[in-house]
Amino acid sequence: MKSYDLIILGGGLAGMSAAVEAGEQGLNILLLEKQDELGGSTVLSSGYMAFAGTDMQEKAGIIDSTESLLADMTEVGGRINNQTLIAEYGRHQLETYQWLVDHDVEFRSLEAVSGHSVPRGHIIDPHQAIQSLYKRVKQLANVTIYFNAPAKRLLKNAEGRINTVLYEADGEVKKAIASKGILIASGGFAKSEELLSQFAPQLKGALRIGGAGNQGDGIRMAWEHGAWVKDLPYLNGTYGFHPSAAGKLKSQGLAFYKGAIMVNQLGKRFVNESISYKLLGKAAFDQPEQISYQVWDQTVMDKGVLDDPLYDFELLKKRRLLYKADNLEELADCIDVPVEVLEETISRYNQGVQNGEDPDFGRKTLTHNYGKPTALEKAPFYAFESTVAMLATYAGVSVNANAQVVNPYGEPIPGLYAAGEVTGGFHGAGYMTGSSLGKAAVFGRIAVQAAVSENAVV
């Protein structure tokens, strides 16, 4: 049986950040990846990362601070997110951004998205990010990666410390042992129908998009050893996907954060479109036949951002996913909603924008506390049928600020760490765009630092 300092389960952003951090600290590392490639949900993601006070923001003239980021996160999380984890994120976020830059991860632009008071969604190309970290790992002789090697179970030693992983490789069950700890970085369970039906039955009709290996293995392994879980009751999908969306094809558009409205099959608005897309998804699911459309005009169209994963409306048009019409009558016909209702909906919305007061749903901004809506009056008009996708389960095993997995009494389970989407407690009852990738990188590295300083023995 081979012995290592640290064993990492999963090669997404959390696992790869941990592997590089640990490798550079000279630890002897094994990373087990279930699939035949790295990346998990990370490489399918839109690549937004929530950081504040960066050089990119400064260059763009955006005033932001860690305090403002944490205040937004807390508000978005319904004030029930674990403040110790939020504070730890705050302590490490800027340094983690710089660490990623120093490891050749390219940040290309900034946008305001769900939950942000200012543009602070720092966009990476997630493939490029994983490949950069992998390149670094390959330079480190002390880091070994096994592909097609799913971890199956964890075992404790005689002192009750988790120190052994049972994993499969080449058709056999093998064992590996770790002296400083085992870090679960195996992502969420967006691809497990069994766990989704258990913990999020409300998302039965949602599309499933996520890493093929993300089946909740890490939650099960930790649960077996007494891990507590957090935030499961707050799971929501993400609104804004075309019903045909699947996997790697980009069929997502968040025109509502640039000023579109959402209407149901009756031609009526049903929600304040500036709130979290997770909550928009919940509202959309309550509509007749769960059908809804984003509707916008040329002014909003012109705010699209080419090559942006969420705001490239031209790409949606090119892919023939948008309805386009010269007037509202034609648009209503395209999407089969009553013309007079759609016209009345838009006229009432426009009046609200002009009066600075949305009488129906209280919309004041484009997203969260950012931006001003505009009247929808400039032809042509567009409609994008949109639905909800379960992408990231962002609820799971409970951890402390050292990324140690804790039991229902908040006590660390010796030897066991977790980081990334497999963990719960950080998001609380809501979700800020960019906080999943952010927490993966931040807490992946924190887990390593904590395992090193714990200095445990087998």
Ligand X SMILES: Cc1cc2nc3c(=O)[nH]c(=O)nc-3n(C[C@H](O)[C@H](O)[C@H](O)COP(=O)(O)OP(=O)(O)OC[C@H]3O[C@@H](n4cnc5c(N)ncnc54)[C@H](O)[C@@H]3O)c2cc1C
Helix/strand/coil (H, E, C) string of 243-308? CCCCCCCCCECCHHHHCCEEEECCCCECCCCCCCHHHHHHHHHCCHHHCEEEEEEHHHHCCCCCCC
Q: How big is the CA angle at 163 (ends 158 and 166), to the nearest 5 degrees?
A: 110
Using left for φ > 0, alpha for ψ between -120 and 50, and beta otherwise, residue 152 falls in alpha
Query: Which 121-150 residues touch ligand X, going by CB under 6 A?
Result: 150
Sketch the per residue contact string, 289 through 328, with ligand X: x for CB under 6 A, - otherwise.
Answer: ----------------------------------------
Question: Of the ranges 9-17, 87-95, 362-370, 446-454, which one interacts with ligand X (CB under 6 A)?
Answer: 9-17
Q: Per the structure block, which two tokens stand in for 62?
A: 């955006």
Cβ at position 361, least distance to ligand X in Å: 25
Residue 263 in the binding site for ligand X (CB under 6 A): no
Q: Does 367 contact ligand X by CB under 6 A?
A: no
Size of the site for ligand X (CB under 6 A): 42
Only one residue has tokens 């977790």, namely 418
Among 209, 262, 301, 337, binds ligand X (CB under 6 A): 209
Using the contact rule CB under 6 A, the part of the chain among 18-26, 206-214, 268-276, 445-453 near ligand X is: 206-214
- What are the DSSP E strand ranges found in 323-419? 323-325, 381-390, 396-398, 404-406, 412-418
- Give min distance, CB of 68 to ligand X, in A: 18
Q: Which of 41, 57, 386, 402 binds ligand X (CB under 6 A)?
A: 41
Tokens representing residue 61 in the block: 């003239």
Interface map 376-405 toward ligand X (x if CB under 6 A): ---------------xx-------------
Least CB distance to ligand X at residue 173 (A): 13
Distance, CA of 378 to CA of 156 (rounded, Å): 65
Decide if residue 77 touches ligand X (CB under 6 A).
Answer: no
Reading the block at residue 411, the tokens are 């006590």
Complex with ligand X: residue 13 or 271, whichever CB lies closer: 13
- The amino acid that residue 202 corresponds to is Q
Q: Which of 23, 47, 352, 373 contacts ligand X by CB under 6 A?
A: 47
The type of residue at 268 is: K
- Interacting stretch for ligand X, rule CB under 6 A, among 26-34, 100-108, 295-303, 372-380? 26-34
Residue 437 CB, shortest distance to ligand X, in Å, is 4
Under rule CB under 6 A, residue 200 binds ligand X: no
- 181, amino acid identity: G
Q: How far is the CB of 337 from ligand X (least distance, A)?
A: 28
Kindly state the smallest distance separating residue 306's Cβ from ligand X, in Å.
17
**What are the percentages of helix, strand and coil residues in the chain, rounded to 5?**
35, 25, 40
**CB 313 within 8 Å of CB 301:** yes
Tell whether residue 86 is a contact of ligand X (CB under 6 A). no
Under rule CB under 6 A, residue 96 binds ligand X: no
Q: Cβ of residue 51: shortest distance to ligand X, in angstroms? A: 11
Q: x/- site string to ligand X, residues 417 to 456, per CB under 6 A?
A: ---xx-----------xxxxxx-x----------------
| Spatial distance between the Cα atoms of 17 and 134, rounded to a whole number of angstroms | 9
Judge whether 365 and 274 are in contact, CB under 8 Å. Answer: yes
Single-letter amino acid code for the residue at 79: R
Who contacts 10 (Cβ-Cβ below 8 Å, separation ≥6)?
Answer: 31, 32, 33, 34, 40, 184, 185, 186, 187, 213, 218, 420, 422
Q: How far is the CB of 162 from ligand X (least distance, A)?
A: 15
Q: Which of 394, 68, 100 is nearest to 108 (CA)?
A: 100
Region near ligand X per CB under 6 A, out of 38-46, 194-202, 342-350, 395-403:
38-46
Contact 418, 405 (CB under 8 A): yes
Residue type, 264: N
Q: Which residues bind ligand X (CB under 6 A)?
A: 9-15, 32-35, 39-42, 44-48, 150-151, 185-187, 209-211, 213-214, 217, 391-392, 420-421, 433-438, 440
